[in-house]
Structure 1
Amino acid sequence: MASRINRRGNAIGPVSACLCDKALAAFANRRISADLARRGFLIGMGASLLSAVLPEFSSAQQPGAAAPAQPTTFTNFRLFDGKSAALQDGMYLVVDGNRISQLRRGSPDAQNASGGRVIDCGGKVMMPGLIDMHWHSLLAALPIAAIMQSDLSFVYLAAGAEAQRTLLRGFTTIRDVGGPAFALKQAIDAGMLSGPRIYPCGAMITTTGGHGDFRLLTDVPRTSSQISEIERTGAAAIADSADEVRLRVREQFMMGATQIKIVGCGGVSTPRSPLDMLTFTEPQLRAAVETASDWGTYVLVHAYTPESVKRCVAAGAQCVEHGHLIDDRTAELLAKNGTWLSTQPFTSEEDVAPLAPSSREKFLEVTAGTDNMYKLAHKHGLKVAFGTDLIFSQALATRQGTMLGHMTRWYSNAEALRMATATNGQLLALAGERNPYPHKLGVLEEGAYADLLVVAGDPLQDMTLLANPDQNLNLIMKDGRVFKDALKA
C-alpha cells in the first residue's frame, strides 16, 4: 500500500492504505508544501523541541549525544540472536561504539568488566531490534484532518515525535516505501532526534492513471514539459516511457534513495485505479531495474495480482511488495527466480484506517487473499519479508507489534521473529552500494550493529509481549546508544 508525502517530508493523502484521494491530496499539497527542502533541518529541530516539552518522552528515554566512550557489557540474559530457533544461555555481550565486539559463552574477563558500564539483564531475553520493511515514517503521526488544519510546524513536530515512538516500540530499522523521508533520516543519523534507521525509496514511480497518479482531472492531458503539483512536491513521479522511467529513478537516487519503488498495478484507495489494471510494460520495468543496478541497488514493485507479479519478475525485479492475490503458478515463479515477497499480514479491517466504500471493497479483496498467499509462500519456500503498512493513525501505529503477532497464524514464533530480524536484514542488504548502514542488521553477532532489545518474558513462547512494548521492553539500544532503560528501575 503506497503512501503520499512530498519531498519536503509532508503527508498529503487520506487516512487509508494504498492511499489516494485526489481532492485531499491536492488540498494537502497546497497546505503543506512549504520550503522544507531549503530547511531540511526543521524536522530534527522541531522533534527535539517536542521531546523536551511533551511529558510522555521522559528523561529515562532520552538518547545520549553519542555512543558511550567505554564499552558496555551485558550479562545474565537469555539470547535470541535472530537466527536460532531456541534461546541460548550462559552468554555475555560487549558493545564497543556502535557495534557488538564480543558475544561469547562464559563470564566477561576483568578488562571487560572494568572501565565501562555492566548491565545485568536479570535473566531476561535479549533479541535484535525489530525491522519493519513497509513503514511510512512521515505518515503515521497525524490523521489527514489534523495535517490540513494544523500549523505547518506542528506537522514536522509530530513526524519527529512519531519516529521516537517507532523506536520505543522496538523497531530500530524501517524501510520507507513511498515518499521522501530524506530530511528525517538525515536528522536521525545526525543525532538531532531519536528514531529508527531509515532506508528511503523516495517518490513512488507510476504511470499516467496508475496507482499513485494523484492528479486532478483538470491536470489532464499533460504536455511533455508539464510537471504537476503532485510531482513537483515529490509525492509521486509519473513516467510513460522507458526513458522517463530512467530519469525518474535517477532523480530519486540523486536525492538519497537507497532503493526504488515502482508501481506495477492498481491500488486499494486509488479511485481510478482498479486492482487488476497494469501500469508499466515489461521493457519499462526493466529500464528501472537496469538503472537501479547501475546505482548498485534494487527495485521493489507494488504488485497484488498474478499478472503484475509475473511481469515484474520477468523484468528482473528482485522484490515484490504485497502480492496478496498471487496464485500457485505465480508463487512457483517467485520461488524459481529467488524473488523476495515483502508483504503484510492484513487479517481484518482492524489493520487499516477507515476507507471509502470503493476502497473498502478492494481492501477486503486483498485481506481475503492473505491466508492463501502465506500458504503458497510456505508451499514453495518463498523468501518472505515482514512489514506493517500502518498509516495516518497514531492508534494504528501502535499496532506494529500486534501485526507481527498476526504472523503466528502461518509461522512459529521463532520463524516470525527471525523474519522480522535476520531475514529482513538480508533484504535490506540488497541496497548494496547505496546501503547507508553497511554492517549486519537484524542479528546479534560479533561485528553487527548494536541494535538490541531486552524483553520481560520470552517472545519465542509468547509473541503478544511485543504488542505491549511500554510494559515489556525493558531496554532498547540502537547504534550502541541506550534509548530506554527500565532495568535500572
Structure 2
Amino acid sequence: MITAIINGRLLDCAGDVPLEDASVVIEDGVIKEIYSKRKPVPRGATIIDVGGRTVMPGLTDAHDHPAYTEMNPEKAENEPPLYIALKMAHNLERILQAGFTTIRDMGGAHWSLRQAVEEGLIRGPRLLIACAVLSPTGGHGDENLRGERLSHNDLGRLRTTARLCDGEAECRKATREQIRKGADHIKIVATGGIASPNDEPWHLQFCEAEIKAIVEEAESVGLYVGAHCEHDSGIRRAVKCGVRTIEHGLFLGEDTAKLMKEEGAYLVPTLATMWWGMTYGPEEGAADWVLRKYKEPLGPGKPDSLEAGVLAIQLARKVGVPIGSGADYWTSRSFGSEAMELKLKTESGMTPYEAIKSATIVNAEIMRMQDKIGS
C-alpha cells in the first residue's frame, strides 16, 4: 500500500528549517521518499492533501509510566486487577491519540502489555519497557513503609513492582532477571525521590560497585541503564559508573553537566510530572510526603521540584548536554497531555523546534531507534 502526503510544511526534525510544499511517500508503513517540489505521485497511491498543514514525525516520550493509574497509593494498589488493566489500556489509547507513537516505559509495564499492543489487542504507542525498577532496600522503589507494605494486592502478572536488590551479586541477578523478562533497557534509582516514603531526594542510593555491576550486565547483552536522579551527587555517581540516561536531573551542577557531556550521557528532564503533581496532587489524593517533596525537595528555602528541573535544563543546554523529553506521568488522569513537557521546555528557554526535536530525534537516539523513528 502506497500513501502520498502532499502540500505539507514538513518538520523533519533533522535540519533547522521547515521544508515548504513538501510531499512524503509512504509504502507499507515506511517512508520511501521526501521531496519539496510537486511531481507525480506513484501510480495507485492514496493521496492525502494536507493543505499546507504541518507534517512531522510521531512524537515520542522517553519517560512515562502507563501501567500506573493513581497518585493515591492505597487506591492505586487496591483497585480490582481487571479495572486496573482496563485503565492501562485507556492510558495507552490516550497517549496515542495525543500524537505519541513510541514511549519508553521506565518502570511498571509488564511484558504482556507490550505484547498486547504489538498484537493489536489494544491500541497504543510502541512500548519499550524496563520491566522492574532496580532499587536498594529502603530506596526510591521500596513500597514498604517502615517495613510494612502499603498494600497487599498481588499484581505481579499485571504490573511490575520494583525489584529490591542489595550488594553486587544481587544487583547482577536482578539485572539478569529483567533481561530474561524481555527488558529493552534497565532502570535503576541512584537517589531518593518524591514518590517514595522512606527517603529524601538527596539521599544517595546504590554504591558504585552495585551500579557498575548493573551497567556491566546490561551492556553485556546490548542494553543500557537509565537512572532516576534527583540530586547532583547521584547524577555524578551514575555517570561515572556508565549510566547512559539521567532521569529528572534535579539540582544538576555545572561540573557534573560537563561530565555528562564528556561521557555522552543524556538528560531526560521531566518537568510535566512536577507541574502535574504540584497542580493536581492534592485533589488526586497524593500522600503527604509526596506533596511535601514536590514543593520542598531539599527543604525550605530551596527551589521546588519544577524550578529545579527548569534550572537543570538551562544548565544542560548551556553546556551542550543532549536533552530528551519525558513527561513521567503516573496517574490515569494525566495521560494524553504528554505534550505539556514540550510547552514547559519552551518556558525554560528552549525554542519550540528544540523542544520538538527533544521529543523526536533526540529521544530516538536515546531509544537507539534513530534509523526507524524521530526524523
In our comparison, the structure showing a higher alpha carbon Rg is 1
Q: Partner letter of residue 340 of structure 2?
A: T
Q: CA deviation at 1:377?
A: 0.9
Q: Matched residue of 1:302: which SS?
A: strand
2:234 pairs with one of 286, 308, 324? 308
Match of 1:251 in 2: 177
Q: Matched residue of 1:159: which SS?
A: helix
Q: Matched residue of 1:198: which SS?
A: strand
C-alpha distance in 2 between matches for 1:184 and 1:209:
28
Q: CA deviation at 1:372?
A: 1.7
1:132 pairs with one of 61, 65, 68? 61
Q: CA deviation at 1:118?
A: 1.0
User: Which residues in structure 2 correspond to 1:276-291 (within 5 Å)?
Assistant: 276-291=202-217
CA contact (8 A) 2:230 2:250 kept: yes
Match of 1:19 in 2: none
TM-score (norm 2): 0.88
* Counterparts in 2 of 1:154 and 1:357: CA distance versus 1, 3 Å: closer
Q: CA deviation at 1:393?
A: 3.6
2:292 pairs with one of 361, 366, 377? 361
C-alpha distance in 1 between matches for 2:77 and 2:187:
27
Q: CA deviation at 1:151?
A: 4.3
Q: Partner letter of residue 385 of structure 1?
A: G
Q: CA deviation at 1:317?
A: 1.0
CA contact (8 A) 2:19 2:36 kept: no
CA contact (8 A) 1:207 1:279 kept: yes
Q: CA deviation at 1:125?
A: 0.7
Match of 1:413 in 2: 352
CA contact (8 A) 1:140 1:397 kept: no
Match of 2:373 in 1: 441
* Counterparts in 2 of 1:179 and 1:308: CA distance versus 1, 3 Å: same
Match of 1:37 in 2: none
User: Which residues in structure 2 correspond to 1:138-157 (within 5 Å)?
Assistant: 138-140=67-69, 151-157=80-86
Q: Partner letter of residue 18 of structure 2?
A: L
Q: CA deviation at 1:92?
A: 1.5
Q: Matched residue of 2:359: which SS?
A: helix
Higher relative contact order (CA 8 A, sep 6+): 1
User: Which residues in structure 2 correspond to 1:460-479 (within 5 Å)?
Assistant: none
Q: Partner letter of residue 287 of structure 1?
A: A
1:400 pairs with one of 323, 329, 338? 338
* Counterparts in 2 of 1:333 and 1:354: CA distance versus 1, 3 Å: farther
* Counterparts in 2 of 1:145 and 1:247: CA distance versus 1, 3 Å: closer
Q: CA deviation at 1:183?
A: 1.1
Q: CA deviation at 1:116?
A: 2.8
C-alpha distance in 1 between matches for 2:225 and 2:120:
29
CA contact (8 A) 2:185 2:226 kept: yes
Q: Partner letter of residue 294 of structure 1?
A: S
* Counterparts in 2 of 1:315 and 1:337: CA distance versus 1, 3 Å: same
User: Which residues in structure 2 correspond to 1:217-296 (within 5 Å)?
Assistant: 217-218=146-147, 234-296=160-222
1:373 pairs with one of 297, 312, 333? 312
CA contact (8 A) 1:301 1:317 kept: yes
* Counterparts in 2 of 1:407 and 1:274: CA distance versus 1, 3 Å: same
Q: Matched residue of 1:386: which SS?
A: coil
* Counterparts in 2 of 1:371 and 1:147: CA distance versus 1, 3 Å: closer
Q: Partner letter of residue 200 of structure 1?
A: I
More displaced 10-residue stretch of structure 1: 277-286 or 349-358: 349-358
Which segments of 5 or more consecutive residues in structure 1 lack a partner in the other structure?
A: 1-69, 221-227, 430-436, 444-489
CA contact (8 A) 2:59 2:360 kept: yes
Q: Matched residue of 1:384: which SS?
A: coil
Q: Deviations 1:242-279 (Å, cap 9, x if unpaired)?
A: 11111111111111100000111111121211112112
Q: CA deviation at 1:311?
A: 0.9
C-alpha distance in 1 between matches for 2:187 and 2:175:
9
Q: CA deviation at 1:322?
A: 1.0
C-alpha distance in 1 between matches for 2:145 and 2:78:
21
Q: Matched residue of 1:95: which SS?
A: strand
User: Which residues in structure 2 correspond to 1:165-184 (within 5 Å)?
Assistant: 165-184=94-113
Q: Matched residue of 1:75: which SS?
A: strand
Q: Deviations 1:117-174 (Å, cap 9, x if unpaired)?
A: 1111111110111111111121248976765675432322221122111100001110
Match of 2:123 in 1: 194
2:16 pairs with one of 65, 85, 92? 85
1:339 aligns with 2:237: no
Q: Partner letter of residue 345 of structure 2?
A: M
2:35 pairs with one of 104, 120, 144? 104
1:121 aligns with 2:121: no
CA contact (8 A) 1:263 1:279 kept: yes
* Counterparts in 2 of 1:257 and 1:369: CA distance versus 1, 3 Å: same
Q: CA deviation at 1:375?
A: 1.7
Q: Partner letter of residue 350 of structure 2?
A: Y
Q: CA deviation at 1:229?
A: 7.0
Q: Deviations 1:199-245 (Å, cap 9, x if unpaired)?
A: 1001000111111111354569xxxxxxx979897401111111111
Identity %: 29
* Counterparts in 2 of 1:143 and 1:275: CA distance versus 1, 3 Å: closer
CA contact (8 A) 1:86 1:414 kept: no
Match of 2:328 in 1: 389
Q: CA RMSD in A?
A: 2.5
Q: Matched residue of 1:278: which SS?
A: coil
Q: CA deviation at 1:293?
A: 0.5
Q: Deviations 1:339-372 (Å, cap 9, x if unpaired)?
A: 1111112564127555333322221232231232
More displaced 10-residue stretch of structure 1: 133-142 or 420-429: 133-142
CA contact (8 A) 1:262 1:302 kept: yes
